[in-house]
């Protein structure tokens, strides 16, 4: 994020947060553990515009507000917000004021998706189901469901982010 926070910056961040909430909470398929959505577009744009810290902050705020406003029976779980921050931070590192190639961007998006979404979020959800829901599910049960969704999400993210960055 720039050193100076002004009205234009706050307005742009608020619009991106609102779009993120719409994409993730209102126009998505799935449930708590497996979700297919277009929220990665707004996270990538936030990272591109505001940089690593700003992109992470926008993603984290969008996650918190989205959970509070449109939870669909979910309970807020802070570790998942950490993952959202890492997504925004990663996109900021990759996209903010940098030249990139489609191959480099695809590889970095895939690595970020695999590490954060598949592995870290599966661990968070494992603990979520034990501590919050009270019905433990095995890690590999959660992971295998998320892996199936990843076969749809990851190519969609790679193509979508390459298109955003091109234009």
pLDDT (tens digit per residue) in 137-149: 788 888 888 888 8
Q: Which residue has the tokens 């076969």?
A: 151
Angle between helices 78-95 and 39-69 (to 10 degrees): 160
Q: What is the pLDDT of residue 123?
A: 92
Neighbouring residues of 125: CB distance < 8 A, sequence distance ≥ 6:
32, 33, 80, 142, 146
Nearest CA among 54, 79, 75, 69 for reference residue 24: 69
Percent of the chain with pLDDT over 70: 96
Angle between helices 78-95 and 121-128 (to 10 degrees): 170
Q: Which residue has the higher pLDDT, 86 or 2?
A: 86
Q: What is the pLDDT of residue 30?
A: 73
- The pTM of this model reads 0.87
Q: What is the pLDDT of residue 2?
A: 45
């Amino acid at each position: 994020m720039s050193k100076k926070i002004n009205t234009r910056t706050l307005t742009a961040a608020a619009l991106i947060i609102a779009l993120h909430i719409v994409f993730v909470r209102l126009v998505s398929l799935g449930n708590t553990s497996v979700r297919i959505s277009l929220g990665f577009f707004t996270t990538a744009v936030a990272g591109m515009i505001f940089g690593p810290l700003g992109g992470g902050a926008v993603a984290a705020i969008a996650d918190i507000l989205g959970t509070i406003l449109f939870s669909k029976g979910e309970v807020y779980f802070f570790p998942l917000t950490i993952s959202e921050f890492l997504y925004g931070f990663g996109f900021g590192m990759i996209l903010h004021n940098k030249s990139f190639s489609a191959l480099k961007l695809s590889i970095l998006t895939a690595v970020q998706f695999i590490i954060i979404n598949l592995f870290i979020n599966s661990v968070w959800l494992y603990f979520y189901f034990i501590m919050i829901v009270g019905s433990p599910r095995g890690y590999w049960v959660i992971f295998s469901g998320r892996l199936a969704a990843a076969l749809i999400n990851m190519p969609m993210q790679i193509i979508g982010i390459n298109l955003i960055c091109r234009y």
